[in-house]
Amino acid sequence: MDHGEKYTGDVAVGGPAATRELPGLRITKVAVGPHDNNAYLLRCTVTGDTLLIDAAAEPDRLLEARGDGLLLSVVTTHQHSDHWQALEAVVGVTGPTVIAHPLDAPGLPIPVTETVEDGDVIEFGEAQVTVIHLHGHTPGSIALLYDPGRQEPHLFTGDSLFPGGPGNTHGNPRDFTSLMNDLESKIFGVLPDTTWVYPGHGKDTTLGIERPHVGEWRARGW
């Protein structure tokens, strides 16, 4: 459950971060940069160890949002440049592990120190997230699943899933089919409606809100 002011996930560039308190984990969502990117700081509330998802822009804001937590890792969900504009600066200050899928790692501005595949687990303190490879928006796009076994998983989807549909596959029918197949088999096929979705841009959603429309997405082709 959330504590204090209710989390909605509505953030704006230049505005305050949104913080969500879960058992063992604090999620901080920050909107940054000219493309209105979401960056997420996941902090183990037992140890303070922190993981950053997408160092998209405004490194000073990201480091401020980190607070006094030790930044262990920065995960880049995919290779598109709007998701890593602050990566080099953040890494230069804090020296965390730089993580991405091997198919997208060459597109990052600095060397990746650890690559992850589908099903791998990334640990930070006593918390952990599981990697889900979703091929389509880019070859190496990944989502990260925090699921402490309390029937309310939390899913960070990068640009692979948004409110209202899958990520942009740039008119490529093969990539669209691949992304839809992965979303249906690895996300909608195994996770409950209560799963909260944190996308790479814009507002949050849940799988329960999106599930009735999956067939419509297939039919329209985007």
Q: What is the pLDDT of residues 156-178, one digit of tens each?
A: 999 999 999 999 999 999 999 99
| 40-58 residue pLDDT tens | 999 999 999 999 999 999 9
Q: Is residue 41 part of a domain?
A: yes
pLDDT for 81: 98
pLDDT for 120: 98
End-to-end alpha carbon distance in the chain? 34
- Give the total number of structural domains in the chain: 1
Which domain covers residue 25, as residue numbers?
18-220
Q: Is 166 helix (H, G, I), strand (E, B) or coil?
A: strand
Integer CA distances (angstroms), 171 to 24, 136, 137, 176, in order: 41, 11, 11, 8
CA dihedral angle for residue 62, residue 168, residue 182, residue 122, rounded to 10 degrees: -10
CATH of the domain at 194: 3.60.15.10
pLDDT for 148: 83
Q: Is residue 7 part of a domain?
A: no
